[in-house]
Structure 1
């Protein structure tokens, strides 16, 4: 019986290893393809304050629907790391490139905060089972729903 348990644990570990390895190979191949596409077809058009590089496809440049993309500066590829001005350019909302002399900034715009979902710093509202402290017991103001 002990051999069955260790065998199932071993097969589970092997399965998880290959799933993680497949993800790493997929991620690596996508990054390699992006580097190849950028080197072969991309024309550099600008860089934002975070160090992200923006490109346009040489073959479609100046056409009605030119292809545009961003190569993120280190870390994960996260869409929230693209500033508003560059987001508009990437999504063909404007054809003018954002510049340092005329930044897209409104007084109410806050500094960028990365998406923390799934990380240790993620927000957990009061009463969440993922919070360290326990929720107070229900008082008399709580009435459960009862079907009729």
Structure 2
């Protein structure tokens, strides 16, 4: 949720240029179009910005990304950072999985100083 100051600044100086599929809204300054920002839907988290909108925010793209931006076959769907959530990646041996991992296979020789 944006602060009241951010919302007032956006109301007086911002021009909405788009919205992504997550509900984040993107703005540029009415008199200086190089100033760009995002108002997040929900908790403000930088990893919620999809790559195409990130490229616009930092100025790599001059125009806003098209709504039907084509996806390459090797591209995965954008996911925000899931650290700290139930959906976070937890590898075998993680503390949340009991902290046990598979035994070493014997292909490792520890270094010992001479």
**TM-score bucket of the superposed structures, by smaller chain:** 0.7 to 0.9
Q: Which has the higher contact order (CA 8 A, sep 6+)?
A: 2
* Rg comparison, structure with higher value: 1
Within 5 Å, give how 1:114-125 maps onto structure 2: 114-125=80-91
| Residue 98 of structure 1: how far off its partner (Å) | 1.4
Query: For the residues of structure 1 that align with 2:70 and 2:38, how far apart are their CA atoms?
Result: 18
Q: Is the 8 A contact 1:98 1:104 kept in 2?
A: no
Root mean square deviation, CA, Å: 2.4
SS in 2 for 1:85: helix
TM-score by length of 1: 0.64
**Post-superposition CA distance 1:40-82 (Å, at most 9, x none):** 2111111122211110111313xxxx200011112x2222222
State whether structure 2 residue 9 is matched by structure 1 residue 37: yes
1:134 aligns with 2:90: no
> Please, what TM-score do these two structures have when normalized by structure 2?
0.79
Q: Deviations over 1:69-124 (max 9, x none)?
A: 011112x2222222222111111012111122x51422222122221112333222
**Contact 1:45 1:56 (C-alpha < 8 Å) held by counterparts:** yes
User: Where in structure 2 are there 5+ consecutive unaligned residues?
Assistant: none
Count of residue correspondences? 114
Rounded to whole Å, the distance in 1 between the matches of 2:106 and 2:61 is 56
What's 1:98 paired with?
65
Going by fraction, where is helix more abundant, 1 or 2?
1
Conserved in 1, the CA contact under 8 Å of 2:92 and 2:100?
A: no
